[in-house]
């Protein structure tokens, strides 16, 4: 595909995932025999059509309808194409009604699971939850973090190519809109990596001393590994999923530096001896990254939170002994859920008196919890959500 077509396809497919419930509410009354009886393939074709008709202003209605009709014809035959044509023409000619604004309909209005919206309303209140849901339905910005070149050098090269950039506050990257990263100056040379500011803040919060030996226990795809290796003496980048190692290696070969050793290893039983610092970027629900991964909200189930928390507990119990006396253990997630974040760390500290919280300097107060943990919330900080706790092991 051309770059223009590729961006359009991504916009429409991601847009449908972000607005799926609202789109389905438009379509359901227009299907004579019931929305549940429409084949899944045709549901998706209709959703693609409604997104173009209701959420995009650059696609002429007749073009959106005719394209979807043709897709339906190729997928399911002439009869199905007639059905799609009739439904989408109704959508194109009937005015859209504004959504009802009440706590009961928040989940449908913003296409999020009921159970998760209820959790967030209980925790943040309705106004702030609405802000969070609206953020999740926005197209996320692409942010570049410096790797083999400085931030100033990356900005200068990209601007010289006629591509505008916007600085993220406090030097946490450059925002570039409307470009594929592989086409930007410096990509092939490893000048930068693509990484949200929230993840860059996790590395800054970790604040590992220069020259340290580091275990990055859940390293793939490697964005944090690249950043850690810039100042570490040695980084062991490990991941238990063998199929993720090639991407990790590819990212390190393009943009990495320093001394990095790759390993297929389970974080619950690390295959290395004591090191100065351990980073556990734990597998989690990812509720802080729904803007970037709109499909994740539809896969996540309520029971997954506790299941993931059990896995995180096992990783902490398995990895903490790898930290040598006086060293650092940094635990991080991209989740917003307390069970995976502060409660997880509180539980760990209750059973391991040799560790204590230690907050580094240079992190804004508005990103710190009362206990000194890093807490980034999309609706407050305008970036992905992230959590991190920095734990110092007592020196013997």
Is 68 designated active site? no
CA–CA distance, 71 with 74 (Å, rounded to integer): 5
Longest dimension (CA), the chain: 77
Our CA dihedral for 107, 114, 300, 46, rounded to 10 degrees, sits at -50
* Token pair recorded at residue 105: 């309909």
Q: Quick one: CA dihedral 118, 123, 128, 131, positive or negative?
A: negative
Contact 172, 357 (CB under 8 A): no
Distance, in Å, from the CA atom of 180 to the CA atom of 194, rounded to the nearest integer, reads: 11
Catalytic-role residue among 68, 218, 284, 334:
334
Q: How many CB atoms lie within 10 A of CB 210?
A: 8
Of the candidates 35, 46, 50, 36, the one whose C-alpha atom is nearest the C-alpha of residue 69 is 46
DSSP for 46-111, written as a single string: HHHHHHHHHH-SSS-HHHHHHHHHHHHHHHH-HHHHHHHHHHHHHHHHSPPPPPP-SGGGHHHHHT
- Which tokens sit at 12? 């429409």
Strand bridging mode 260-264 / 234-239 = parallel
Rounded distance, CA 187 to CA 208, Å?
27
Dist CA 333 CA 63 (whole Å): 43
Cis peptide before 221 (omega within 30 of 0): yes
What residues act catalytically? 334
């Amino acid at each position: 595909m051309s770059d223009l077509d590729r961006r359009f396809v991504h916009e429409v497919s991601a847009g449908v995932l972000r607005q799926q419930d609202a789109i389905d509410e438009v379509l359901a009354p227009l299907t004579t025999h019931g929305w549940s009886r429409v084949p899944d393939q045709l549901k998706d074709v209709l959703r693609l059509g409604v997104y173009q008709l209701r959420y995009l202003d650059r696609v002429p209605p007749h073009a959106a309808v005719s394209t979807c009709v043709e897709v339906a014809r190729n997928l399911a035959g002439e009869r199905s194409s007639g059905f799609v044509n009739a439904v989408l023409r109704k959508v194109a000619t009937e005015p859209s009604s504004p959504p009802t604004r009440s706590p009961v309909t928040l989940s449908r209005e913003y296409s999020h699971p009921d159970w998760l919206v209820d959790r967030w309303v209980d925790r943040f209140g309705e106004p702030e939850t609405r802000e969070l849901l609206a953020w999740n339905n926005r197209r996320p910005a692409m942010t570049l973090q410096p790797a083999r070149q400085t931030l100033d050098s990356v900005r200068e090269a990209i601007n010289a190519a006629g591509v505008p950039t916007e600085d993220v506050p406090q030097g946490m990257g450059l925002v570039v809109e409307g470009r594929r990263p592989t086409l930007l100056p410096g990509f092939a040379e490893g000048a930068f990596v693509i990484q949200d500011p929230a993840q860059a803040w996790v590395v800054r919060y970790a604040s590992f001393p220069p020259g340290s030996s580091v275990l990055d226990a859940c390293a793939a795809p490697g964005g944090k590994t690249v950043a850690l290796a810039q100042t570490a003496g040695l980084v062991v980048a490990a991941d238990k999923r063998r199929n993720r190692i090639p991407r990790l290696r590819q990212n390190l070969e393009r943009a990495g530096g320093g001394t990095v050793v790759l390993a297929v290893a389970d974080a619950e039983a690390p295959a290395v001896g004591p090191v100065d610092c351990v980073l556990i970027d734990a597998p989690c629900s990812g509720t802080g990254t729904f803007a970037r991964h709109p499909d994740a909200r539809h896969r996540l189930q309520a029971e997954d939170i506790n299941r993931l928390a059990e896995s995180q507990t096992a990783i902490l119990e398995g990895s903490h002994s790898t930290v040598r006396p006086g060293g650092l253990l940094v635990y991080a997630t991209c989740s917003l859920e307390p069970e995976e974040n502060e409660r997880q760390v509180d539980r760990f500290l209750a059973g391991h008196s040799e560790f204590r919280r230690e907050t580094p300097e240079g992190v804004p107060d508005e990103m710190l919890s009362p206990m000194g943990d890093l807490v980034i919330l999309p609706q407050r900080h305008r970036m992905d959500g992230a959590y991190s706790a920095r734990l110092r092991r007592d020196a013997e």
